[in-house]
Structure 1
Amino acid sequence: MIPELGHFALILALMLALAQSVLPLWGAQARDARLMESGPPLALAQMVAVGAAFAALLWAFVTNDTTVSNVVANSHSAKPMIFKLSGAWGNHEGSMVLWVLVLALCSAAVAGFGRDLPSALRARVLAVLGMISTGFLLFILATSNPFDRVWPPPLDGQGLNPLLQDIGLALHPPLLYLGYVGYAVTFAFAVAALIEGRVDAAWGRWVRPWSLAAWSFLTLGIGLGSWWAYYELGWGGYWFWDPVENASLLPWLAGTALLHSAVVVEKREALKIWTVLLALLAFALSLLGTFLVRSGVLNSVHAFASDPARGVFILVLLGIYIAGAFALFAFRAPAMAPQGVFAPVSREGGIVLNNLLLCSLCAVVLVGTLYPLFLDLLAGRMISVGPPFFNLATLPLALPLAMAMAAGPLLAWKRAALWPVIQRLWWAAALALLAFLLAMFLAGAPVMPALGFAIGLWLIAGAATDILDRSGLGRTGIGNALRRAGGLPRAAWGAAIAHAGVGVTVLGIAGMGMATEKLIALTPGASTEFAGYEWRLEGVRDFQGANYTARRATVTVLRDGRTVQVMEPSKRFFPIGRTTTTETAIRTNGLRDLYAVLGEERDGADGRREAVLRLHYNLLAPFLWIGSLIMALGGGLSLTDRRMRVAAPARRAAAQGAPA
């Protein structure tokens, strides 16, 4: 009965989304206040309906209802409760319900917190969000119904993919969807502005919090996914330029450009057309990522779907939403002439450079990801585009971007001089040069990791310089500087913290460029020397888990005869799905990771059993995820700024002859 209620709730949500798509938009065009005011209650009602459907899906998984085919395919009675819950969205059908739920929550948030928006603009934004909800609810009901029944019901389910039975991946999709759907809101604001034919400083103020929230959640989601791949897949790395990884990176790059560009719209009423275009692109790339993952075009541990009908449906949605939005952009953009004028050397000019480099990086990643697919489709040839291409193609763009990132916040608005900024950054440049020389000549680092250390410290020092310069340290007393620093807007602190987080992540990338590994077969009691440590295999034994059996090795790591760590890598076998997974053992002190992976066991030359171990010494690996966390915290701190919460400045009357 409950699955049927969930199915009914999805149908009801579709009807409400259709009404939300039509009535407020009609009211805005006809200047009918009653129709415009129908948007908020419809958005709230749709949120309740989708929430009820998601609750019904959770109930089916918690109770292990084997009459529901989705539960049979992705759950089992022996599975721990946390993974029963995450199994509700750890599959294609459930993940799409979660996607629509997050979209409904965002629509309700616009309805609830957008009381200060002009009625016509809010009505149009809610209508566009209703259109997006309509398309995806149709997709779920037509091709991906999570409440389909199976008869006769089996005795138990088949279990969730063991690779997905992890707390990291349980949280990864919700965070990503909060990022993706946040860009649906900025997309809706952009389309509403194009329909109205007007973008101004107030519009930039309204868009900024949504772009910032989406960016922060997407940063957390990408960082968590990278961390999961690092410790769960057992290959010792953090990013392999997998096409599905790239699918989340693309909207992050476009969203980062949007976040900076929206500031210029708010402050100077410049870059208006460009900012609207970025808002459209960020969501277009989010939808593209959804298509790549859900269509089965890509083969990845992340991919859930392999039904061509689903891919065609999402491709049609992509065409309707994005082609329609860009057609509207082509029609309306010429009428939205920019008003702000600025010199090339200025804060606005620095943001333009930032945008150009970010969008160029986005284009490189997009081409490298899609070109093999188009080549296979058009010529029937398979090629692989991997880390060598992406690393070499993105580096020339990333270097000037890092240089500009530290200097940009020190530039004045409208017109600035470059030499005073260089003078304020001299100590950051000296620190970066020192780091490069020490890494090259004392640590023996290759050129690229040494350059990475220099860039990371340059970004951190640049962020510190921004705060010190704002507080007036060196121009006033220390006590007064501290008081001024404490009085700085939270958005200023948040931006500096986020930039420093990028620097911490770059340090982690540079450290991983010096990572070393060793593959060795050892008998119990034998040891090997690696990375300045002695690694001794104590033995391998069987272990019984909640829903798996395992072979677990015990490895003692010693230095100068003293035990430093005891590590227990294992291989798990899940009898329900007859799947074997690798469980790594990682010990960290915050500056380096000792990383061990258990391979196959075999008979050695002397007839004794040997265990194959893969050992890694990963320098500064924790900095990768600490940096992403710092970036997201910087974004969250900026969101608490009072200027992000108060009403946007009242719109000035449109100039004579401006488009309606």
Structure 2
Amino acid sequence: MLIEMIPEVGLFALIIALLMAVIQGTVPLVGAATRHPLWMAYARPMASGQFAFVLLAYACLTASYMLDDFSVATVANNSNSMLPWYYKFSAVWGNHEGSMLLWSLILAGWTFAVGHASRALPHDILARVLGVMGLVSSGFLAFVLLTSNPFARLLPDVPADGSDLNPLLQDVGLIIHPPMLYMGYVGFSVVFAFAIAALLSGRLDAAWTRWVRPWTNIAWAFLTLGIALGSWWAYYELGWGGWWFWDPVENASLLPWLAGTALIHSLAVTEKRGAFKSWTLLLAISTFSLSLLGTFLVRSGVLTSVHAFANDPSRGVFILMLLGLTVGASLLLFALRAPRVGQRVGFTGLSRDTLLLVNNLLLVIMTVSVLLGTIYPLLLDALGLGKISVGAPYFNSLFVPLTVLLCLFMGLGPVSQWKRTPARALWRHCWPSAVLAVVIAALVPLIYRGAWNPRVSLGLAAALWILLPMLKGLVVRIRQGTSWRAGLRRLSLAYWGMLVAHLGVAVTIIGVSVVANYSIERNVRMAEGDTATLAGYTFTLTELGKRRGANFVADTARLEVRHQGQSQGFVMTPEKRLYLATGMPMTDVALRPGLWRDLYVAMGEELEDGSWALRLQYKPLVRWLWLGALLMAVGGLLAVVDRRYRRRRRSAHHGAEETPA
């Protein structure tokens, strides 16, 4: 009997969580406005209670999946008794209702973390921050309860078994990609709440900036990893070897990442120089607004994608209203209150301040370009003005030159000085790196392929221009110590974080340049005993067979692969699966990964004579895309764990101190 009541317990917990979120979003804000300490004190316990009850609701939904309770509609529509337990666990968020509950849980978790990690903040600031996050939570919990109830029942017509999880989602990618992406999306709500609190209080000082920067870095690192995991998942799961397709759903995650990258650099200037305050606030509002826009695109039903679960117009209208209210109210507040927190700080035409400003402008232009290319076709369709398709040619024609310009200023930024940089000193530092970058970038394609490729050379030159001046600057800093060891000890983790993150950008650019221009693909027809060659590798199909999985049957192929000049080879075993509950076919590719290249084999369709269509691909440096993203995320997190930085954050409310930018 208790087991049968689990969904009702979860629904009741969600209702209590909504009530607590409403109290959290109103009473502390009124208390901060009226300077009422008791009302402000409601913020932290309400945040803790809201998190506890949302967690209870999520645990109840998870239990319904694990216990195969097909009386719950989401379980019946997205699970099956034959589904392995780990896919049942991830199926909780493999649908619209469950994914929005996960979103609400992560938002409540961020709120709980802020409440307990920000005890040193002034009470009025903390009350405003948690109050704003409570309002955001109220909107999402109301959305879940009113339009996307994950505990809706199918009584009395309970199916004997479930419809199964979409085979595309039966992968480890579903287990780790959405939670990581949501951690980034929702994490920017913290930065948004701090920005609104600064506007309400009229205070934006160095202490405020030091509290915001760690939360920004953590959210940005999670979003970076989430995007990289999504790219990796698409690469090996969809069977065509692509890692980015400029799909609207992919763009929905890229938009807040671009704005968040600009925000990180703007915060550095605000903390170090007290400049860009209004710009920082606007970027904080814009980054979270773009996260909400991504939610609207994916959850409203305006897109048809494996990522987009909702198809109920009422859900789209609700999210659109939530988006409009949040963005409209915050921008109105910004327009009214931003002059109170702004501050004029001077700097000359050539300085780190200027270079970071230019980089921020380029990032904003890139964001707007992606936003227009994503939204414009949807607007035309919604207004009945026709259907158009905006694809890779549009995005690449804008993104590639803007990225090259961004790299140009990225190479100069870390080696320039705040406020004023002598042009002659900057030239002396950078010209050897510029010459070396151009020479190496021109020679590598000639050595690697025997022919010059301007696109590859441009990408290599841009990446090397980021790296070489930065490495030279590192050597100069180390030499300033009494010894190499002393010089290394003088460098903070925040500085190392900047180096590692910029290294990650360079590594990703190299990977993109090489794999986009040097990939090789062959579509072949093979039967047992047939051989095909690709990029110096020989593929021999030695066996065709069948295999039974937990909830699918599969046609399998066994290929022996050997590189020219090597006596030993290896085996690759791609599959073509048919899922029993849905009758949906799926390709399970065979990958031979490596730091310098991937070999990729995907099975197509069986042909009339018993042979199979196979796709063979050679992907040089494709792993560098995700290695670079990992380095970026690590760089973003290094500043958070810097001991000096954390020590100064703890004492931020005692006065402004200077921290490394």
TM-score category by the smaller chain? over 0.9
1:658 corresponding residue in structure 2 = none
1:498 corresponding residue in structure 2 = 501
Alignment of 1:27-426 (within 5 A): 27-151=31-155, 152-426=157-431
1:558 corresponding residue in structure 2 = 562
The amino acid of 1:587's aligned partner reads: R
The CA deviation at 1:563 is: 4.2
**C-alpha contact (below 8 Å) 1:466/1:496 kept by paired residues:** no
1:574-628 CA distance string (max 9 Å, x none): 011111111111102210011111111113xxxx422111111111001011111
SS at 2:611's partner residue?
Answer: strand
State the alpha-carbon separation in 2 of the partners of residues 430 and 589 from structure 1: 31
1:34-56 CA distance string (max 9 Å, x none): 11111001100111011111111
The amino acid of 2:461's aligned partner reads: A
State the alpha-carbon separation in 2 of the partners of residues 343 and 212 from structure 1: 28
**C-alpha contact (below 8 Å) 1:602/1:610 kept by paired residues:** yes
The CA deviation at 1:651 is: 6.7
SS at 1:609's partner residue?
Answer: coil
SS at 1:425's partner residue?
Answer: helix
Change in 2 beyond 3 A, CA 1:445/1:88: farther
The amino acid of 1:23's aligned partner reads: V
State the alpha-carbon separation in 1 of the partners of residues 472 and 54 from structure 2: 47
Q: Which runs of 5+ in 1 are unaligned?
A: 654-660
1:63-111 CA distance string (max 9 Å, x none): 1111111111111111111111001111111111111111111111111
**C-alpha contact (below 8 Å) 1:125/1:189 kept by paired residues:** yes
1:447 corresponding residue in structure 2 = 454
Tell me if 1:483 matches 2:490: no
State the alpha-carbon separation in 2 of the partners of residues 435 and 648 from structure 1: 47
Q: Which runs of 5+ in 2 are unaligned?
A: 657-661
The CA deviation at 1:338 is: 1.3
**C-alpha contact (below 8 Å) 1:206/1:648 kept by paired residues:** no
1:471 corresponding residue in structure 2 = 478
SS at 2:164's partner residue?
Answer: coil
**C-alpha contact (below 8 Å) 2:122/2:653 kept by paired residues:** no
The amino acid of 2:269's aligned partner reads: V
SS at 1:616's partner residue?
Answer: strand
**C-alpha contact (below 8 Å) 1:220/1:629 kept by paired residues:** yes
The CA deviation at 1:395 is: 1.6
Alpha-carbon RMSD? 1.5
The CA deviation at 1:337 is: 2.9
**C-alpha contact (below 8 Å) 1:460/1:504 kept by paired residues:** no
State the alpha-carbon separation in 2 of the partners of residues 262 and 134 from structure 1: 28
1:614 corresponding residue in structure 2 = 615
The CA deviation at 1:450 is: 2.2
State the alpha-carbon separation in 1 of the partners of residues 520 and 312 from structure 2: 41
State the alpha-carbon separation in 1 of the partners of residues 529 and 632 from structure 2: 45
The CA deviation at 1:445 is: 5.0
The amino acid of 2:646's aligned partner reads: R
**C-alpha contact (below 8 Å) 1:410/1:421 kept by paired residues:** yes
Q: Which moved more, 1:211-220 or 1:554-563?
A: 554-563
State the alpha-carbon separation in 2 of the partners of residues 269 and 436 from structure 1: 39
State the alpha-carbon separation in 1 of the partners of residues 348 and 653 from structure 2: 28
State the alpha-carbon separation in 1 of the partners of residues 130 and 519 from structure 2: 49
SS at 2:533's partner residue?
Answer: strand
**C-alpha contact (below 8 Å) 1:463/1:500 kept by paired residues:** no
Off by >4 Å, runs of 4+ in structure 1 = none
1:649 corresponding residue in structure 2 = 652
Q: Percent identity?
A: 48
Task: Output the TM-score relative to the length of structure 2.
Answer: 0.95
The CA deviation at 1:476 is: 6.4
1:183-239 CA distance string (max 9 Å, x none): 101001111111112212111111101110010000000000000000000111110
**C-alpha contact (below 8 Å) 2:196/2:330 kept by paired residues:** yes
**C-alpha contact (below 8 Å) 1:342/1:415 kept by paired residues:** yes
State the alpha-carbon separation in 1 of the partners of residues 147 and 462 from structure 2: 48
**C-alpha contact (below 8 Å) 1:467/1:493 kept by paired residues:** no
Task: Output the TM-score relative to the length of structure 1.
Answer: 0.95
State the alpha-carbon separation in 2 of the partners of residues 577 and 463 from structure 1: 54
**C-alpha contact (below 8 Å) 1:20/1:42 kept by paired residues:** yes
Give 2:21's match in structure 1, choosing from 17, 23, 36.
17
1:657 corresponding residue in structure 2 = none
The amino acid of 2:360's aligned partner reads: N
Change in 2 beyond 3 A, CA 1:390/1:421: same
**C-alpha contact (below 8 Å) 2:429/2:469 kept by paired residues:** no
SS at 2:569's partner residue?
Answer: strand
The CA deviation at 1:539 is: 2.5
Alignment of 1:494-643 (within 5 A): 494-513=497-516, 514-560=518-564, 562-603=567-608, 608-643=609-644
The amino acid of 2:200's aligned partner reads: I
State the alpha-carbon separation in 2 of the partners of residues 575 and 554 from structure 1: 23
2:468 corresponding residue in structure 1 = 461
State the alpha-carbon separation in 1 of the partners of residues 91 and 388 from structure 2: 34
